[in-house]
Amino acid sequence: MSSYYEKFLATGEVKCIDDEIPFEIPNGWEWSKLSNVIELLSGQDFIPEKYNSSNQGIPYITGASNIVNGNLVINRWTETPTVIGKLGDLLIVCKGSGVGKMCICNVDKIHIARQIQIIRNFSNAISLSYVKSVVEANLQTIISNAQGVIPGISREHILNLLIPLPPTNEQ
């Protein structure tokens, strides 16, 4: 068995991660922390004066009620977006009773509230549909590490998730 290493992009430091590897992967695959292949954006809540129900501005996604059967349900809009999701981003509910619900954004632009996080790939090196499948497979472990009165997924638990990364054509 060969050893596995994590390279930290910011410092160039390399660390052996053999003790973190849960299983062997096929040749051509790599182990990677999710933080090495995605960007994670956290949302911002608005006071009622900053959103509307009259289709003015861009959709304002506030939580689990906006994701039904893997699709977006849009019932609020804002003309002052600050945390903008875009077509193809993976949205995940990170707080509250619907924690773990996910969908791929199917509209050009959205603003997300604090209960939602955006997972965006850095390049085409990873498919967000594949990331969604891996996160779903690890969701119970991620949620079991949640702390606090309201169930939640921390940024660190998502970013530190170790994933098997197949070549792009296999994803």
Residues 6+ apart with CB under 8 A from 41: 83, 85, 112, 117, 118, 120
The pLDDT assigned to 8 comes to 65
Question: How far is Cα 62 from Cα 46, in angstroms, rounded to an integer?
Answer: 9
Residues 6+ apart with CB under 8 A from 45: 62, 113, 114
Residue pLDDT tens, the chain, 171 long: 577 766 665 677 777 878 888 888 888 888 888 998 899 999 999 999 999 999 999 999 999 999 999 999 999 999 999 999 999 999 999 988 888 899 999 999 999 999 999 999 887 778 899 999 999 998 888 777 766 677 688 888 899 899 888 887 887
Could you tell me which CATH number the domain at 34-163 has? 3.90.220.20
The pLDDT assigned to 107 comes to 95
The pLDDT assigned to 25 comes to 85
133, containing H or E segment: helix 128-144
* Centroid of chain to Cα 111: 15
**76-97 in b/e burial notation, b at 16+ Cβ within 10 A?**
bbbeebebebeeebbbbbbbee
**Contact 62/95 with Cβ under 8 angstroms?**
no
